[in-house]
């Protein structure tokens, strides 16, 4: 898996959020109004704090998407602009 152009290791069964967390990445989205950093909060798909852009598609919940080697994950700015 790739995050903002850098390789991130992932083990089978991990979600994107779990792989990012294991790699030490704690924030991968900014809030809409203030631009505050956001990352994993609930971890079960109930909230929307872990949104990322995956393969060009915004608003994907990182805690629900399985990590795969070819995924291109990007930090999401506000409502869906990738960095």
- What pLDDT, in 10s, does the model give residues 22-35? 999 999 998 888 88
- Total Cβ atoms within 10 A of residue 14: 17
22 sits in which H/E element: helix 16-22
pLDDT above 70 covers a percentage of the chain that reads 96
**Residues pairing with 54 in the sheet:** 57, 73
- CATH code of the domain occupying 2-78: 3.10.20.440
pTM of the model: 0.88
- What pLDDT, in 10s, does the model give residues 40-66? 888 888 988 899 999 999 999 999 999
Q: CA-CA distance, 79 to 3, in Å (whole number)?
A: 18
């Amino acid at each position: 898996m790739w995050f903002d152009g850098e390789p991130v290791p992932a083990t089978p069964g991990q979600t994107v959020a779990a792989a990012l967390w294991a790699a030490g990445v704690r924030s991968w989205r900014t809030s809409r109004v203030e631009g505050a950093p956001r990352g994993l909060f609930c971890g079960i798909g109930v909230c929307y704090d872990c949104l990322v852009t995956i393969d060009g598609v915004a608003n994907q919940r990182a805690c629900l998407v399985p990590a795969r080697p070819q995924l291109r994950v990007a930090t999401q700015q506000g409502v869906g602009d990738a960095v």
